[in-house]
Structure 1
Amino acid sequence: MSDSSPSPGLARRTLLQAAVGTPVAAAAVLGAQPAQAAEAADADSPRFTLAVVPDTQYLFDEGGSDPEPVRATFRHVVERRREDGIVFLAHLGDVTEHGTATEMRQADDVFRTIDGRMPYSVLAGNHDVSGDDQRGDTPYLRTFGPRRFARSATYRGCSPDGYHSFHLFRAAGRQWLLLALDWRVSDAGIAWTKSVLDAHRGLPTILTTHDLVYPTDGGGAQLSDHGQRLWDQVIRRYDQIFLALGGHYWPAGRTTLTNDHGHPVHLHITNYQDRYYGGAGMLRYYAFDLARGVIDVSTFSPWLQARRDPTALEAETHELTGDTDRFTVELDFDSRFPPAPLPALPAAKVVIPGTVAYWRFDGEGLTGADGSPVAAGAVARDLSGNGNDLTVTRLHDGPADVLTFSADHHRAAPGHGSLRFDGGQSPDRGAVLRTSATAPLTRARFESGYTIETFLKLPDPFTGDHAFMGILSWEGRSGDAGKTSGWSPDEPTCSLNLSGERFLQFVVYPVDRDADPTSWSHALPVGRWTHVAVVNDGRRTVVYVDGSRIARNAAEDSRGITTLGKPFALGGTQFAEKYGQGYYGWLGDTRIVARALRPEEFLTR
């Protein structure tokens, strides 16, 4: 930023440019590459961090500079790359104070410390360059142009002028697009930016530039003249852009605007050059947590945090905790950017050694138009080849739409279809899919262990009384098997149910004792697919929800499943050998294996 006070109408300098960007081929990166890259973050974890470095101009000033704070920031990012899940570092421009060759050499020397060790982007600010992105050659371009990034794993190309670049990085099991735009974007730059976005439709996108929004009272922010141009011509039109970051102005601020698609876009100022020691190499973490649907933002100076005996100024600046420096952004990533379903798998890939039964609902006899009724008597074949076919029965003479085919499915499910059950109480209604009384599954005892898996989804809103609806079970009375220690001799010998609080209940009567070890989960979510696995190793049972073991697993020993030669059923649980309500929600691929599986062997792949 300039040394004068920020003004929304002040013409700062421009951005980069246009035309489809393609990676620059095999040109040598400026500076020597370190021998070994830092250990990368886990690309499949739902948690990762984008590191952001704003205006460093006062620390690269040939009139009197000290680049050590920036060097310390880069060292911190490399050292903490794995622990903090840092997948990328973005600089927001105004690298130097005057943009001279001397200052660029100073910056080059510091940035060399992360070349090849941390993927990053740099863009030009008004103190690095003048004019818009058609300015031609500059010391900045010779230092931070395409040649520098040619070997970067995330770099995918630049605009013809060399001042704009785009990067793809992998995090949380998906790809993300980051645009690094010059401080003044020409019409050519706008066209290039659109071409990149058009070529990467659907990728969640972070836009970085130097001049975007300026601060208003109370920590807010408002589009600057240049920011308004970007908003009108690019940001508001492309729904994939959810976060836009700029520096240039101070103090820090933020605002949220609604794009043309009705979705929020978060726009932030990150700049601390007005703070002690020119910002002291201030670093901002954008810590993404897709499991919680949030981005946790924090701001600190690694250089100042390393002080053993800090002065008062150092102590008050090493970490910033104001409302514009430390906050949380809520964003439902899966809703805004639904992950693409994994390709369907043939049954042969799913029928692993020990598979007793495997059913999916995208095959002959069950499929039709989305929402079409599934007829009574329709058969879901046991794709394990063991003869445990399931036949549809509507309970209590229910209507045809009590069971329908659905194209909806868990993104990782091998089969791309499901069944929608519309069971309920008052009056009892539902549908079940049952094996025959002679199917092998009716007699299996699983004394060496077992794994029972299914995909389920509860409706949102979850209306009506569905307390203790059955998901799957074996028919028959536990009392007829000589089991008297449980809640009632009229309950079945094994069932998976859902309580009124939406807690899973897995209850089983083992073959070797009169006991009913019961496991209870937390409240299951509504409106999204959940994978459930019940795993028994021949001694104890552990229930997993979405690959995580629950806390309230049964403490008692449990070997095998007591069966009475009666059908296995999906979609309901008997009491006193009668079905009441049926299941309410979706059920997808279901598999039973006669051994304990590890989580990495589950149907979720």
Structure 2
Amino acid sequence: MMKIRAHYIVIIILLLTSCSNKVRVVLLPDTQTYAEKFPQILDSQLDWIATNSKKIDFVLQQGDLTQNNNKTEWDLVKKAFSKIDERVPYILAVGNHDMGSGPGKFADVRNSELFNQYFKYADFSSKKYFGGAFEKDKLDNSYYLINTGKIKWLVITLEFGPRNEVLDWANYIAAKYPDRLTIVNTHAYMYNDNTRIGEGDKWRPQAYGVGKDSGPKAVNDGEQIWEKLISKNPNIRWVFSGHILDSGVGTLISTNEKGLPVYQMLANFQQGVEGSVNGGNGFLRIIDMDFKKKTATIKTYSPYLKIFKEEKEHSFIFNDVNFSPAK
């Protein structure tokens, strides 16, 4: 009997060790067209996440939850995400379609009242993985401390066109947790030509009403976020974004000031992206990280269609990934 028990203990230890070497992150970009026209597709995404929640470590959403920032769409989005409440940690971003002076007015002013009404600070701040926020009672700029086996994560989610003062705050948070592998999750960062959003690019944050602000309130595009925040912090190693149309994809590995790799990805499938059907047909990104093999495998899957995208820009592997936050 003792030998049998010992055998099972060894098996359990091996299973736990194996699990601690792997992490699955799901990216859920730009759900706006589903909120406006195809709520059943949004439901299929969240149903799939709920069903597979034991295999998913956390979910990151890249903004533009809604198309028109109205209560009808926010009702649908809130109902969909409630499917994964208490099942798997999820972190949201605010896109240009989620802020404005009224429905259908996109980022003319920095007003995210409805987002914060439906996704309440009080609810998120009670979660054990919640770290804090830039502004009292607002989740637009917030951070989260997630532990997955051997890896301790810091996830910083940033508003559309983050202000200078927000980037100052994010620098402080990144420096506060140097031992945590850090992800920056935001709406507008990468462009569709595998570069960061910069001067001359379409849909640059400076082209919207909030882009008129100056000083501490001045907005930043992808290249500026890189220069002021990402490149300066050795523990920031991943950046995820949406927002950009045309191909809706972009991938870039850059080297930060400490000579460490930073993996940056754009994924967007909304209406207006080339080849998009039904606002994206429910495609989302699955990132499987294997710390032992030093790989990150990226797949693009639709729970609605139950198929994968096989094109190289949607299915690829990063090899020799450095998962150490500072070396």
Q: TM-score normalised to the size of structure 1?
A: 0.44
Structure 2 SS opposite 1:279: coil
Structure 1 position 76 matched with structure 2 position 73? no
* Counterpart contact for 2:99–2:111, Cα < 8 Å: no
Per-residue CA shift, 1:328-349, capped at 9, x if unaligned?
11244356656xxxxxxxxxxx
Q: 1:264 aligns with which of 261, 265, 268?
A: 261
Structure 2 SS opposite 1:52: strand
Mean Cα displacement is larger for which, 159-168 or 203-212? Answer: 159-168
Distance 1:117 1:138 in 2: 26
Distance 1:106 1:236 in 2: 37
* Counterpart contact for 2:297–2:316, Cα < 8 Å: yes
* Counterpart contact for 2:191–2:250, Cα < 8 Å: yes
Structure 1 counterpart of 2:97:
127
Structure 1 counterpart of 2:315:
326
- Structure 1, unpaired ranges of 5+: 1-40, 306-317, 339-605
The structure with the largest strand share of the pair is: 1
* Counterpart contact for 1:132–1:186, Cα < 8 Å: no
* Counterpart contact for 1:119–1:153, Cα < 8 Å: no
Structure 1 334/103 Cα, relative in aligned 2: closer, same or farther at 3 Å?
closer
Instruction: Report deviation, 1:148.
Output: 3.4
Structure 1 position 102 matched with structure 2 position 103? no
* Counterpart contact for 2:296–2:321, Cα < 8 Å: no
Structure 1 counterpart of 2:195:
221
Distance 2:113 2:166 in 1: 17
- Structure 2, unpaired ranges of 5+: 1-14, 101-105, 200-220
Structure 2 counterpart of 1:86:
56
Structure 1 counterpart of 2:161:
184
- Kindly report which structure 2 residues correspond to 1:453-492, keeping only aligned pairs within 5 A, or say none: none
Structure 1 counterpart of 2:210:
none
* Counterpart contact for 2:144–2:156, Cα < 8 Å: yes
Structure 1 counterpart of 2:25:
50
Structure 2 counterpart of 1:295:
296
What residue identity is the alignment partner of 2:317?
T
Instruction: Report deviation, 1:121.
Output: 0.5
* Counterpart contact for 2:32–2:66, Cα < 8 Å: yes
* Counterpart contact for 2:183–2:236, Cα < 8 Å: yes
What residue identity is the alignment partner of 2:302?
S
- Kindly report which structure 2 residues correspond to 1:502-521, keeping only aligned pairs within 5 A, or say none: none
Instruction: Report deviation, 1:141.
Output: 1.9
Distance 1:137 1:58 in 2: 19
Instruction: Report deviation, 1:114.
Output: 1.2
Per-residue CA shift, 1:432-467, capped at 9, x if unaligned?
xxxxxxxxxxxxxxxxxxxxxxxxxxxxxxxxxxxx
Structure 1 position 155 matched with structure 2 position 130? yes
Which of structures 1 and 2 has the bigger CA Rg? 1
What residue identity is the alignment partner of 2:180?
L
Distance 1:133 1:143 in 2: 21
Distance 2:188 2:324 in 1: 30
Structure 2 counterpart of 1:199:
176
What residue identity is the alignment partner of 1:227?
G
Per-residue CA shift, 1:401-424, capped at 9, x if unaligned?
xxxxxxxxxxxxxxxxxxxxxxxx
What residue identity is the alignment partner of 2:284?
L
Structure 2 counterpart of 1:60:
35
What residue identity is the alignment partner of 1:233?
K
Structure 1 SS opposite 2:168: helix
Instruction: Report deviation, 1:137.
Output: 5.2
Structure 2 counterpart of 1:279:
280
Structure 2 counterpart of 1:499:
none
- Calculate percent identity across the aligned residue pairs: 23
Structure 1 158/331 Cα, relative in aligned 2: closer, same or farther at 3 Å?
farther
Instruction: Report deviation, 1:134.
Output: 8.4
What residue identity is the alignment partner of 2:250?
G
* Counterpart contact for 1:55–1:248, Cα < 8 Å: yes
Instruction: Report deviation, 1:42.
Output: 6.1
Structure 1 319/157 Cα, relative in aligned 2: closer, same or farther at 3 Å?
same
Distance 1:104 1:89 in 2: 19
Instruction: Report deviation, 1:133.
Output: 12
Q: 1:244 aligns with which of 239, 244, 252?
A: 239
Q: TM-score normalised to the size of structure 2?
A: 0.79
Per-residue CA shift, 1:193-248, capped at 9, x if unaligned?
112112111211111100001112xxx33333511121111000001111111000
Distance 1:322 1:224 in 2: 26
Structure 1 SS opposite 2:97: coil
Structure 1 334/319 Cα, relative in aligned 2: closer, same or farther at 3 Å?
closer
What residue identity is the alignment partner of 1:119?
P
Distance 1:98 1:212 in 2: 22
Structure 2 counterpart of 1:361:
none
* Counterpart contact for 1:122–1:144, Cα < 8 Å: no
* Counterpart contact for 1:70–1:280, Cα < 8 Å: no
The structure with the largest helix share of the pair is: 2
Distance 1:53 1:331 in 2: 26
* Counterpart contact for 1:157–1:166, Cα < 8 Å: yes
What is the root-mean-square deviation in Å for CA atoms of aligned residues? 2.2
Structure 2 SS opposite 1:194: helix
Instruction: Report deviation, 1:176.
Output: 0.7
Structure 1 position 141 matched with structure 2 position 130? no
Distance 1:334 1:48 in 2: 12
What residue identity is the alignment partner of 2:131?
R
* Counterpart contact for 2:234–2:326, Cα < 8 Å: no
- Kindly report which structure 2 residues correspond to 1:359-370, keeping only aligned pairs within 5 A, or say none: none
What residue identity is the alignment partner of 2:148?
A
* Counterpart contact for 2:35–2:42, Cα < 8 Å: no
What residue identity is the alignment partner of 2:27?
V
Distance 1:123 1:262 in 2: 28
Distance 1:279 1:334 in 2: 31
Structure 1 SS opposite 2:264: strand
What residue identity is the alignment partner of 2:227?
D
Instruction: Report deviation, 1:168.
Output: 1.4
Per-residue CA shift, 1:520-552, capped at 9, x if unaligned?
xxxxxxxxxxxxxxxxxxxxxxxxxxxxxxxxx
Q: 2:187 aligns with which of 199, 210, 231?
A: 210
